[in-house]
Amino acid sequence: EIVLTQSPGTLSLSPGERATLSCRASQSVSSSYLAWYQQKPGQAPRLLIYGASSRATGIPDSFSGSGSGTDFTLTISRLEPEDFAVYYCQQYGSSPYTFGQGTKLEIK
Amino acid sequence: EVQLVESGGGLVQPGGSLRLSCAASGFTFSSYAMSWVRQAPGKGLEWVSAISGSGGSTYYADSVKGRFTISRDNSKNTLYLQMNSLRAEDTAVYYCAKGYYEVVRGVIYYYYYMDVWGKGTTVTVSS
């Protein structure tokens, strides 16, 4: 089973700042099958990024994904108030298709 | 509009069974991989199970293997999760989610990321 470790656990930033979230895999994720999701309280998750770097439909270009192998990054170039949420990475290269434990992005 | 609506959640005693359903609309259901993901109260997301578009391939988390069964009825555009031998640690909101597929040189490839999610159904296992 591939274990995904996200860091930091909590990230405190101000609107307008840049956010960098990390997702590290215990073994290589095949074909960069890595996705990122955003979840706000009381809501279902929303897909942001798939294939490590492809933005999902309707996702603003302030969100970008990068990485390969075992190290992946989600970057939000300029934080808007609505971006403060919990972010999860998920690998879908090999079953079980595991999630990371999440990074909470909070307003400083 | 692509839509997923879960149902079947509720309160069940430890050792009991429950069957969740997910009604899909707005897309060609039989073409797409589908998954179940759960979230225990105050916790993160946990992938539970997935199934290919044809239903021929199924996948499970170790925590549910042998107790849960995923299936689909493509004629009814519905995904199911049969949950047996339920435990307190199965208490969670259960989400149904749509995956993706592509055809390359006549071969169908399924991708188990989730681009559309339902609102979830709550399962509580307690005596």
Peptide bond before A15: cis, by omega within 30 degrees of 0?
Answer: no
Q: What angle do CA B56, B58, B59 make, to 5 degrees?
A: 160
Q: Which of A45, A47, A56 sits opposite B45 (nearest CB)?
A: A45
Both tokens of B68, joined, read: 């849960």
Taking only the tens of pLDDT, chain A with its 108 residues reads 999 999 999 999 999 999 999 999 999 998 899 999 999 999 999 999 999 999 999 999 999 999 999 999 999 999 999 999 999 999 999 999 999 999 999 999
**Chain B nearest CA to A15, separation (Å):** 25
Can you give the pLDDT at residue B5? 98
pLDDT digits (tens, 9 = 90+) for B38-83: 999 999 999 999 999 999 999 999 999 999 999 999 999 999 999 9
Q: Which of B115, B118, B119 sits opposite A47 (nearest CB)?
A: B115
Residue A1 forms contact with B (CB below 8 Å): yes
Residues 16-75 of A with CB under 8 A from B: 33, 35, 37, 39, 44-47, 50, 56-57
